[in-house]
Amino acid sequence: MRVSFSGKRGSEEIHGCKGLILKRYLFLFFIALMILVGCAPKQVKIYDQDSQLRNNIIRTAVEMHGKPYRSGAKGPDAFDCSGFIYYVYKRWGIILPVNTEGLMKVGYSIGRYNIRPGDIVIFRIKKALHSGIMLNRNEFIHASSSRGVAIDNTEDPYWKKSIIGYRSVL
């Protein structure tokens, strides 16, 4: 099959090698575009209607993104999961327990569809407990033992199967 284009330079036929070259350039263009989009900074949706305190807690938590993990650390240079929550809330005058077992007893339990930014999510991974701060309905920020303070999604199968519940202390 031949497709002809006419212009000031005459006509060019796109078939055989020329068509293959065009397809390769388009393929490379889309690969480059995907790489650029993948390297863009992470955007986190914070709900505008939430209280200023909740937004301050989220802002403080996100400022810690990338800080390293260290067992038993309560910041500001390194964190473990509950130490991270303790540090973020303490910055805004709220003193919480420094372990996940204690976090399971403060505030009140909330359902999956009542989550608001700043609420706490608790997981059981194997036999250990883990906790994080919800950024929106699906994303949470936590101190990961392998990646430091990181943002993940509760819909990811790894996290979804491990959720014990959600707590609100605000």
Q: Which residues are catalytic?
A: 81, 130, 142
> Please, where are the H alpha helices in the chain?
16-38, 52-63, 81-90, 100-103, 157-160
Report helix angle 52-63 to 81-90, nearest 10: 130
Contacts 24+ apart (CB under 8 A), 54-60: 54/116, 54/117, 54/118, 54/170, 55/117, 56/92, 57/88, 57/89, 57/92, 57/117, 57/118, 57/133, 57/170, 58/117, 58/118, 58/133, 58/135, 60/88, 60/91, 60/92
- Two structure tokens written together for 36: 């650029």
Task: Please give the biggest Cα pair distance in the chain.
Answer: 78
